[in-house]
Structure 1
Amino acid sequence: MGPFQGGESVATQATPRTTLPLADLLLDPENPRLPPDTTLVDRASQHAIALYMETAYRLEDIAESIVERGFDPTEILWVVPTNDRYTVVEGNRRLAALQFLTDHLLREKIERAQRRALWDELSERLRMNGHDVSRLPVEVRDSREKFLDHLGFRHVSGVLKWTAEAKARYLTQLLEREELDFAAAAKRIGSTAPAVRRQVEAYRILRQAKAADMHTDTAERWFGLFYTAVSRPQFRRFLSIGDEAGSSREPVPPEALPQLEECLGWLFGTTDGKRRVIGDSRQIGELALVMEEAEATTVLRETRSLSSALAVSKGGKDQILGALRAAREQLYVANGRAFEYKGDLDVLSVAQSVSDLVDRIVDEIAP
């Protein structure tokens, strides 16, 4: 019998450490590994969750281990009661792998024939090897909140880390469900209060954008870049985020939401086809310099060219002066040793290219 076809309820028999039928275990629709609900059509559907995980994670690697060695009894699943069954809050990839191994109806829903054949072959090998996975070791708690500390240590601070967006979403849930401050939440997961504050604040800003019907899919996928950007003081000033906003569930004031949409467009592009203005995360600093100055920001809005906007900003001048001064210091060093390589064609070739480059820079700058 497949895991979606019911099973004898053991809710009244469960103790903190016990075994439960595979058929009584449910995938967690609140699993931070799942994408935000805008990109998973039906989070309430166990099939939808399992099929998403099959495409997003290498469940076959977990399945291969189970096929060869059986289910490791030390790999205990953490579960909470859900009506007459149990939701797995830790161990969802293992549960999903087992579901594909044991439920032919689920396997038939896999779109790619090659993937279906792979899972059919793994399922047959499990049967041939004789491993019994009908009951699994679990630890039962009466609510998911009882597991939050352990989940934080494992997946936020520990070695089995979630994505940046999943970590921030989990931390936000932790604070808001238990009404913790940043210091208390940091202590619970083995982090620092400033780090927790930055992650939660970035997630809340993105949540605001989504609530305002802004395009956030790319920002969710590249949450680390978004987090880095909105942590910079220039971005915070541009979005009118005050120092006291850390405890607010809506850090960006309503009047600054248009600027938030602009930021998302500059960082990730827009739904109407306008490309992002930065090439990679290293240019976030340049974008921040532009956002500090009204004239440079106007140029960016009109041209969507970061280099053009940077050229009219004070930051652009500081940047080129810094680069020229650093190059000059290195050339002083080279000049002091040039006599050692008189007649060396390799050194002469590089020196000539440097001279040509300096001439071009002077020609560009000269009035």
Structure 2
Amino acid sequence: MSELRDVRSIGEQRWVPLRDLLLDPENPRLPADMQGEDQEDLAVHLELGFDALTVAESIASHGFFGSEPLIVIAENGSDRWVVVEGNRRLTALLGLVDPKIRTQFANPSPWEPLAAQANMSYEDQVPVVVLPDRAAATPIIGFRHISGILQWQPYAQARYIARLVDEDHMTFAEVAEMIGVDRTKVGNLYRDQAIATQAREMGIETGPMEEAFSLLTVAMSTPKLRDHIDAPLGSKAVPGEAPIPAERASELKELVTWLYGDADVEPVIGESRDISKLGNVVASKIGLHALRERVTLEAAVQKVKDADANPRQRLMLRLRTGKNSLSAALEDIDDFVGEAEVNDAVDEVRAAADALLAALSRD
């Protein structure tokens, strides 16, 4: 009979006082400009962006589930512990025990009755699993938040992958194997966060990009837009190097503006489905010139279509488009009869039609 052995496990289970636990200042969910902020600021951001209130409601009603311990590592130079997995739960605990923190939340009012119901203090013991370092936590964090059921937003995923590549010096293949995703996805996310970092270092406002990072990932899966800024395939991205050549800096800036807008202009796309249309426009000299003249995306698309048609085809296309638009307008007109703006628009349509009829009657 073979000898029975314990299942291999990682980490040491403990109970530690809440006061000895710290939010992770390197949490990939945090914006890049919040790295290293104090604990109160980190808690306020995590509560606002990641629905810590829902977790607090569960803790106040049912207690903290010991089956879901926080994962911690020792803080350098102290007896405290940095929570590398479970920062939303720790934010909920801090909100329940600390009036100073919860009064800074965007909406403190629901926290007060929950704090009274929970009746917790900083001396309460919290279940944790102690790991020797961040590297030991990589498999569980990466699997859970990139390929698992508790996936982070794309920007947080990309930043975590970048940390593994740039700081832990792992290859794309090693990261892919460790966290259970395709190597191509690892390379693409690494490249895309490197583009965001390069844009930020150029002085471009990247807050909207971080919030809607998937727009950039879709854009970089569009060859025509990738070619516009000379971005590499994700698999060809070189760790530690800026992915966009210096001579394409202006093209990178305008692509970011088309996708996200800036202080002066709105983005030219309305949703991610417009990105392939944007790629087709940018690949056309006429379309690119139109965008740089700050016309709408639809107007730029029309200019590209017009350029591809002979004069008669262009005329028929415009006439059919106008007829279809007017027919569609009939579906809505009854709800707005009598409005001055609507009447003015109809008058302009009539004037345009009269001009067309006059042109047809000329000898």
Q: TM-score, normalised by structure 1?
A: 0.76
**How far is 1:316 from its partner?**
8.3
**How far is 1:306 from its partner?**
1.6
**How far is 1:308 from its partner?**
2.7
**How far is 1:203 from its partner?**
1.0
**How far is 1:35 from its partner?**
2.3
Residue 123 to residue 27, structure 1, CA distance change in 2 (3 Å): same
Task: Please name the residue that 2:219 is paired with.
Answer: 229
Task: Please name the residue that 1:91 is paired with.
Answer: 86
Contact 1:101 1:123 in 2 (8 A): yes
Contact 1:90 1:151 in 2 (8 A): yes
* Residue identity matched to 1:108: T
Contact 1:100 1:119 in 2 (8 A): yes
Helix, strand or coil: the match of 2:293? helix
Residue 107 to residue 309, structure 1, CA distance change in 2 (3 Å): closer
Q: CA RMSD in A?
A: 3.0
2:67 corresponds to 1:71? no
Task: Please name the residue that 1:61 is paired with.
Answer: 54
Q: TM-score, normalised by structure 2?
A: 0.77
Pick from 63, 83, 108 the counterpart of residue 103 of structure 2.
108
Residue 259 to residue 134, structure 1, CA distance change in 2 (3 Å): same
Helix, strand or coil: the match of 1:178? coil
2:300 corresponds to 1:306? no
Residue 90 to residue 315, structure 1, CA distance change in 2 (3 Å): farther
Task: Please name the residue that 2:273 is paired with.
Answer: 282
Alignment of 1:138-217 (within 5 A): 138-217=128-207
* Residue identity matched to 2:261: G
Contact 1:153 1:190 in 2 (8 A): yes
Query: Structure 2 CA distance, aligned partners of 1:48 and 1:294?
Result: 47
Pick from 218, 221, 238 the counterpart of residue 208 of structure 2.
218
Contact 1:67 1:131 in 2 (8 A): no
**How far is 1:241 from its partner?**
2.4
Contact 1:183 1:193 in 2 (8 A): yes
Task: Please name the residue that 1:259 is paired with.
Answer: 251
Pick from 260, 263, 273 the counterpart of residue 268 of structure 1.
260
Query: Structure 1 CA distance, aligned partners of 2:307 and 2:259?
Result: 19
Helix, strand or coil: the match of 1:55? helix
Task: Please name the residue that 1:117 is paired with.
Answer: 109
* Residue identity matched to 2:98: D
Contact 2:196 2:206 in 1 (8 A): yes
2:36 corresponds to 1:18? no
Query: Structure 2 CA distance, aligned partners of 1:312 and 1:19?
Result: 67
* Residue identity matched to 2:16: L
**How far is 1:236 from its partner?**
1.5
Residue 315 to residue 20, structure 1, CA distance change in 2 (3 Å): farther
The superposition leaves residues 87-133 of structure 1 with CA deviations (integer Å, 9 ceiling, x where unpaired) of 000011111111111122323334x5xx3332221111112xx8997
Residue 289 to residue 93, structure 1, CA distance change in 2 (3 Å): same
Residue 145 to residue 316, structure 1, CA distance change in 2 (3 Å): farther
Helix, strand or coil: the match of 1:199? helix
Task: Please name the residue that 1:3 is paired with.
Answer: none
Q: Report how many aligned residue pairs link the two structures.
A: 307
**How far is 1:47 from its partner?**
0.4
Residue 308 to residue 33, structure 1, CA distance change in 2 (3 Å): same
Query: Structure 2 CA distance, aligned partners of 1:157 and 1:87?
Result: 24
Query: Structure 1 CA distance, aligned partners of 2:52 and 2:123?
Result: 16
Helix, strand or coil: the match of 2:109? helix
Task: Please name the residue that 1:296 is paired with.
Answer: 287
**How far is 1:290 from its partner?**
1.3
Residue 177 to residue 277, structure 1, CA distance change in 2 (3 Å): same
Query: Structure 1 CA distance, aligned partners of 2:156 and 2:56?
Result: 24
Unaligned stretches of 5+ residues in structure 2: 1-10, 318-326, 332-352
2:32 corresponds to 1:36? yes
**How far is 1:79 from its partner?**
0.4
Unaligned stretches of 5+ residues in structure 1: 1-14, 325-348, 354-359
Residue 224 to residue 242, structure 1, CA distance change in 2 (3 Å): closer
